[in-house]
């Protein structure tokens, strides 16, 4: 199986020298994805909306790898403010169904002040 990469066109990918995702065989590793709308280069000030945008970017990335959110086996959630954890969790709960992926949620700081959430996922394409 070949190893290949996917880019979303984010300015951060070129700046920091990373790919949005690496596809290695049946595995897909998606980099931490912020809630930026890369088409309009904007970001909402609402954590739930940022989460929805993260999922949209991740979903589009997975589609390029011939997969979907149903193939996600692990989610890492980074949230800037503890008070946003429940809003972010509700969006994730609506996005993922059985079998649900594993989840680790961490409250942390971000390099960009407007960021409230970042998601990182690992997916395994099902045969």
Return d(Cα 7, Cα 109) in angstroms, integer.
Answer: 25
- Give the whole-angstrom CA distance, residue 9 versus residue 123: 21
pLDDT over 70 at 1, yes or no: no
Instruction: Say which CATH number the domain at 72 has.
Output: 3.30.1330.40
Look up the pTM and report it. 0.94
Tally of domains in the chain: 1
Using an 8 Å Cβ cutoff, are 76 and 36 in contact? Answer: no
Residue 25 has pLDDT above 90, yes or no: yes
Higher pLDDT, 40 or 127: 40
Give tens-digit pLDDT for 26-80. Answer: 999 999 999 999 889 899 999 999 999 999 999 999 999 999 999 999 999 999 9
Determine the structural domain holding residue 32 and report its residue range: 3-124
- For residue 58, what is the enclosing H or E element? helix 47-64
């Amino acid at each position: 199986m070949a190893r290949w990469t996917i880019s979303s066109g984010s300015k951060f990918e070129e700046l920091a020298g990373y790919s949005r995702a690496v596809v290695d065989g049946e595995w897909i590793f998606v980099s931490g994805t912020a809630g930026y709308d890369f088409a309009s280069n904007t970001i909402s000030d609402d954590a739930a909306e940022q989460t929805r945008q993260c999922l949209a970017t991740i979903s589009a990335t997975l589609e390029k790898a011939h997969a979907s959110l149903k193939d996600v086996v692990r989610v890492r959630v980074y949230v800037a403010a503890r008070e946003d954890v429940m809003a972010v969790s509700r969006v994730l709960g609506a996005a993922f169904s059985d079998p649900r992926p594993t989840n680790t949620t961490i409250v942390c700081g971000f390099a960009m002040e407007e960021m409230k959430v970042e998601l990182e996922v690992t997916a395994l394409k099902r045969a």
